[in-house]
């Protein structure tokens, strides 16, 4: 179990300094819970926090790690088909081939100014995986705090949150594209 040694700090999304503090934590390879344009996500900087995320998610029976990025970051990391440019940013996760030939990534350009500001200030994409456990959806922030308070350094709370639907996911490594999960975005224009 990954334990920070103390309970997570709680911040409100609209609180001054939350973006700067979130960027500082992520830059220092700390894990946090962030509200996004879909659901709350367990997040860490790409490339340096994957093993920590795996330890936490292994405990709750899930090990899928999406990548949140700006459009420019997504284009540096993956082969982004032109068809996606008219859709992103939105609640659409796409499995795309990595540019370095190392397989593929499930990547999303979120339609959320708060997350976009964090990504731009950080200068790198972040991993984000749902806070859900063993197939159960956790959307109540008090449940999220209880579940993760000793596993992450900070939890950012969005008191105006009205969303609890995951992103739509499609596999863009297949021809035609394949729908993996129905979610918050209507991707029918990209599907056969």
The per-residue pLDDT for range 122-145, each reduced to its tens digit, is 999 999 988 877 667 777 888 889
pLDDT at 62: 45
Least confident span in 57-66, 128-137, 142-151? 57-66
Domains and CATH numbers, the chain: 9-89+104-164 (3.90.870.10)
| Residue 28 three-state SS | coil
Sheet holding 92-97, edge to edge: 9-12, 154-157, 32-34, 41-45, 126-130, 66-68, 104-108, 92-97, 168-171, 178-181
pLDDT at residue 161 tops 90: no
Question: How far apart, in whole angstroms, are the C-alpha atoms of residue 66 and residue 128?
Answer: 5
pTM: 0.91
């Amino acid at each position: 179990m990954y334990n920070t040694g103390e309970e997570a700090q709680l911040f409100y999304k609209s609180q001054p300094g939350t973006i700067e503090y979130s960027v500082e934590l992520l830059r220092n390879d700390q894990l946090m819970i962030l509200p996004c344009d879909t659901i709350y996500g367990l997040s860490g900087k790409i490339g340096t926090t994957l093993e920590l995320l795996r330890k936490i998610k292994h405990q709750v029976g899930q090990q899928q790690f999406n990548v949140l990025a700006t459009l420019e970051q997504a284009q540096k990391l993956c082969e982004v088909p032109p068809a996606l440019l008219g859709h992103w940013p939105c609640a659409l996760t796409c499995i795309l081939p990595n540019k370095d030939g190392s397989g593929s990534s499930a990547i999303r350009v979120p339609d959320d100014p708060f997350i976009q500001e964090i990504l731009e200030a950080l200068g790198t994409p972040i991993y984000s995986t749902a806070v859900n456990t063993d197939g159960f959806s956790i959307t109540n922030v008090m449940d999220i705090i209880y579940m993760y308070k000793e596993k992450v350094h900070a939890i950012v709370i969005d008191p105006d949150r009205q969303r609890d639907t995951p992103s739509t996911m499609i596999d863009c490594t297949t021809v035609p594209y394949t729908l993996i999960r129905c979610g918050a975005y209507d991707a029918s224009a990209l599907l056969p």
